[in-house]
Amino acid sequence: MTTNPTRTNLNERLDSIRRDLLTMNQMVSDRIDEVTTALLERDVGKADQLITDDDNIDLIAQGVEDTCIDTLIREQPVAGDLRAIIAALHMNSDIERNGDLTTNIAKAVGRMQGSKPEDRIRDLILRMAEQAKILTIESGKAYEHLDEELAAKIDSMDDVLDDLHRTYIQTVINSARHGELEAHETLQLAMIGRFYERIGDHAENVGERIRYIVTGWTPENAGAERARARAAAEGTSIERSDLDAPNTGRGLAIIDSIAEERRIDATRRDFVANVSHELKTPIGAISLLAETLADAGPDDDRDRLTRHLNREVKRVESIIDDLLELTRLEEFEPERELLSVDELVHQAVDVARGLADARGIELAIVGVPSGTHVNGERRQITRAMVNLIDNAIRYSESESQVTVSVDEITDAVDVSVADSGVGIARPELERIFERFYRVDPARSRETGGTGLGLSIVRHVADNHDGKVVVESKVGSGTTFTIQFPTTQPGENDAPPASDA
Ligand code: ADP
């Protein structure tokens, strides 16, 4: 009898990778329960324990990655075995990320400072946690038994979690609007919801990797299939000549996309770090001012301290308000109605008027009445316009002029906001739409900026199939133009909006 030592080695390595991944997945599943209990029972001690324990998952993940790479190099697997290892590398990072997400929830427990959200929010947290756990367990089972049918069902299980998450975010936002939640609680609760939802996304990825192991299926294959079917139905041909050729680059492309996922994760981590950093400064100032006020004697200038305190509180409120707005813009489609552009511009200018007066800036409107209409959400569009006008005022010298103009072009309308202020240098123009990016952080803070205004503008434009462009010259001024597709009254079903 002959045995093949290489094959034995390969099988042993594959087994050990699979065992480790299943162990990690089980650990994540347990952690979902534990962290949810800690969250609902406000058990900060338990949450701290979970944060430390996450290192155990990281340790296994590190081992799996090493084994996978070692196996690729030493055993040079082909066909199904190669697929199994490539998929394992992916699953390893998905499961490890889910460990991190449970840690993020545990960290939020500490930051919630023992507050107790209302029952409806607690109930939704519990339901999201249950669904995230189901997704984790079922994806584990599908991997253990290489059950392609079960793996294909994970997608719809994740839809359930996505629906729960949407309801949850709406509930949190409503509670915040009704003043039932403090600003910091709202932010933490919004982030917690997002963490559960992301766990579902990673479990869905695991399902996709299993289908790849068993049949070679990938979301890209499925997309290509659909494109082929469409082309066949339309009698057209698909331009890419190699679509039917065996895809020899597949393994490499998948390793590339791991790098892409890491990049996205890093961006997300940066964002959370940025939010924490942005809030830390004003919150630090608030606690210092509050202490000073408490100890202030009768001769001290209590009014000045109180004014300063209020300004810092306002700053925290603005940051949270803008963050919630960004979440809403990402989560929900605009609630469209037929809107008069002239009316929107007047509304936005009215909102910005106070700031313009305070800074001695003249606000002029040109090109109105234009008689144009757009199909969009009033709140979103006015907010975008107000952000642009506010910026024009804040980055101009007093006594100057800011002009808002409306120009109708074919099938679209341009609303431009022009100032003769400080201007923006060319290299910065590419970055100003990033969250928290500021050319001059001191000026932005001093004038009450959050660094999120232009991200909101860009999101609103995207959500309405529009665009935003900027032209600027340092020292001469800046013009931002936001463009929306126009609609003729009667062109769609939405009734004209009243003068609400
Ligand atoms: P902020 O709250 O800091 O104003 P934004 O996202 O609205 O944040 O803008 C990002 C950055 O772009 C600002 O910090 C500022 O440096 C620059 N900027 C925006 N609008 C103008 C403008 N009209 N003139 C000059 N610089 C501007």
Instruction: Domain ranges for the chain, please list them.
Output: 5-234, 275-331, 337-491
Q: What value does the mean pLDDT of the chain take?
A: 86
Instruction: Count CB atoms within 10 A of the CB of residue 173.
Output: 20
* Ligand 1 in reach of 424 Cβ (< 6 A): yes
How far is Cα 498 from Cα 50, in angstroms, rounded to an integer? 53
Q: Compute the average pLDDT of residues 246-250.
A: 41
Nearest atom in ligand 1 to 387's CA = 7
Decide if pLDDT at 339 tops 90.
yes
* Ligand 1 in reach of 421 Cβ (< 6 A): yes
Pocket probe for ligand 1: among 432, 433, 480, the residue whose CB has the most ligand atoms within 8 Å is 432
* Between 231 and 2, residue with greater pLDDT: 231
In tens, the pLDDT along 251-290 reads 444 445 556 666 666 666 677 777 777 787 788 778 878 8
* Ligand 1 in reach of 453 Cβ (< 6 A): yes
* Ligand 1 in reach of 438 Cβ (< 6 A): yes
Decide if pLDDT at 108 tops 70.
yes
How far is Cα 193 from Cα 186, in angstroms, rounded to an integer? 11
> What is the pLDDT, as a whole number, of residue 271?
73
* Ligand 1 in reach of 419 Cβ (< 6 A): yes
> What is the pLDDT, as a whole number, of residue 196?
95
CATH class for domain 275-331?
mainly alpha
The CATH architecture assigned to 337-491 reads 2-Layer Sandwich (3.30)
Instruction: Count CB atoms within 10 A of the CB of residue 387.
Output: 25
How far is Cα 103 from Cα 27, in angstroms, rounded to an integer? 12
Query: Rounded to the nearest whole angstrom, what is the distance from the C-alpha of residue 325 to the centroid of ligand 1?
Result: 18
Query: Rounded to the nearest whole angstrom, what is the distance from the C-alpha of residue 438 to the centroid of ligand 1?
Result: 6
Query: Rounded to the nearest whole angstrom, what is the distance from the C-alpha of residue 10 to the centroid of ligand 1?
Result: 57
Tokens of 394: 């804040």
* Ligand 1 in reach of 402 Cβ (< 6 A): no
Contact 374, 484 (CB under 8 A): yes
Query: Rounded to the nearest whole angstrom, what is the distance from the C-alpha of residue 322 to the centroid of ligand 1?
Result: 14
Question: Which long-range contacts link 106-110 to residues 24+ away (Cβ below 8 Å)?
Answer: 106/35, 106/38, 106/47, 106/48, 106/50, 106/51, 107/47, 107/51, 108/39, 108/188, 108/191, 108/192, 108/195, 109/35, 109/38, 109/39, 109/42, 109/43, 109/44, 109/47, 110/44, 110/47, 110/48
Tokens of 85: 């290892």
Percent of the chain with pLDDT over 70: 87
Q: Compute the average pLDDT of residues 30-45.
A: 95
Burial class (CB in 10 A: 0-12, 13-18, 19+), 432: buried
Nearest atom in ligand 1 to 477's CA = 24
pLDDT band at residue 499 under the 50/70/90 scheme: very low
Nearest atom in ligand 1 to 451's CA = 8
* Between 266 and 295, residue with greater pLDDT: 295
The CATH architecture assigned to 5-234 reads Up-down Bundle (1.20)
Pocket probe for ligand 1: among 319, 438, 447, the residue whose CB has the most ligand atoms within 8 Å is 438
* Ligand 1 in reach of 143 Cβ (< 6 A): no
* Ligand 1 in reach of 454 Cβ (< 6 A): yes
For ligand 1, atom 25, the nearest C-alpha belongs to 423
> What is the pLDDT, as a whole number, of residue 240?
45
How far is Cα 226 from Cα 343, in angstroms, rounded to an integer? 44
Residue 241 parent element (H or E): none
In tens, the pLDDT along 372-420 reads 999 999 999 999 999 999 999 999 999 899 999 999 988 999 999 999 9
* Ligand 1 in reach of 459 Cβ (< 6 A): no
Query: Rounded to the nearest whole angstrom, what is the distance from the C-alpha of residue 423 to the centroid of ligand 1?
Result: 10
* Ligand 1 in reach of 319 Cβ (< 6 A): no
Decide if pLDDT at 231 tops 80.
no
Residue 180 parent element (H or E): none
Strands 362-366 and 401-409: parallel
Q: Compute the average pLDDT of residues 430-439.
A: 88
- Angle at CA 355, nearest 5°, toward 352 and 356? 85
> What is the pLDDT, as a whole number, of residue 445?
80
Decide if pLDDT at 3 tops 90.
no
Nearest atom in ligand 1 to 448's CA = 2
- Single pTM value for the model: 0.51
Pocket probe for ligand 1: among 391, 404, 420, the residue whose CB has the most ligand atoms within 8 Å is 391
Instruction: Count CB atoms within 10 A of the CB of residue 28.
Output: 28
> What is the pLDDT, as a whole number, of residue 268?
64
Decide if pLDDT at 155 tops 70.
yes
- 79 Ramachandran zone, left/alpha/beta (phi>0; psi -120 to 50): left
* Ligand 1 in reach of 200 Cβ (< 6 A): no
Query: Rounded to the nearest whole angstrom, what is the distance from the C-alpha of residue 359 to the centroid of ligand 1?
Result: 17
CA 366 to chain centre: 36
